[in-house]
Homo-oligomer: A and B are copies of this chain.
Amino acid sequence: MASLSAGPEIERLIQLLAKLPGLGPRSARRAALALLKKRDLLLEPLSAAMRDAAAAIKTCEVCGNLDTVSPCSLCRDERRDKHLLCVVEDVADLWALERASVFRGKYHVLGGALSALDGVTPERLNVMSLLERVKHGVVEVILAMNATVEGQTTAHYLIDTLSASGVKVTRLAHGVPVGGELDYLDEGTLSAAFKARRSM
């Protein structure tokens, strides 16, 4: 690819934008151009917002969530049931559950999933702090891992590790997504939905 002859500043901006999830080299170039064309409306405010967020946002020392305070507002919320602990891989999963308003207990963010390929061992996840939290009045641990190989490996590992503590461990049901068409679902999902069928 020929150089853009537009200075190293643009090249560097494009390279860094391309590291964002969802942006490839081509869309990063379009994003860089949009930023430079809308400096007052987009580039300056975004740069400021990034600085503000970096300064304000902390990782919660209790659950691993991101918030302006630590412990985070979810951990501080007395109305949430502290007997229920929902374990997720990532902050994005916590946000997804909060958007759906399906859970009113506390969370625990592992910070990833076990992966032999990527060298993610239990020591690199927030497992020790989970075991410690479980000792203090937790009645049920709900494993809300992704339905991927890594997620399910992590769930199995946690089921084993938590068995000694005697706490009740559950996990999310597999099945047909609401609005999903059977024709488009994989065999694993269909099989899981059949096995977990309910009488009406």
Contact = CB atoms under 8 A, between A and B. Distances in A.
Nearest to A19: B42
A178 interface: no
A53 B20 contact: no
Contact of A21 (B13, B30, B66, B91): B30
State how many copies of this chain the complex holds. 2
A4 B49 contact: no
A20 to B, nearest CB: 4
A23 interface: yes
Interface residues on A, range: 35 or more
Contacts of A95: 4, 6, 29
Interface stretch (A32-40, A159-167, A179-187): A32-40
24 contacts: A2-B98, A2-B101, A5-B67, A5-B98, A6-B67, A6-B68, A6-B95, A7-B56, A9-B52, A9-B56, A12-B53, A16-B42, A16-B45, A16-B49, A19-B34, A21-B27, A21-B30, A22-B22, A23-B31, A33-B66, A35-B53, A36-B57, A47-B51, A47-B54
Interface of A: 1-2, 4-7, 9-10, 12-13, 16-17, 19-23, 27, 29-37, 39, 42-47, 49-54, 56-57, 65-68, 72-74, 90-92, 95, 98-99, 101
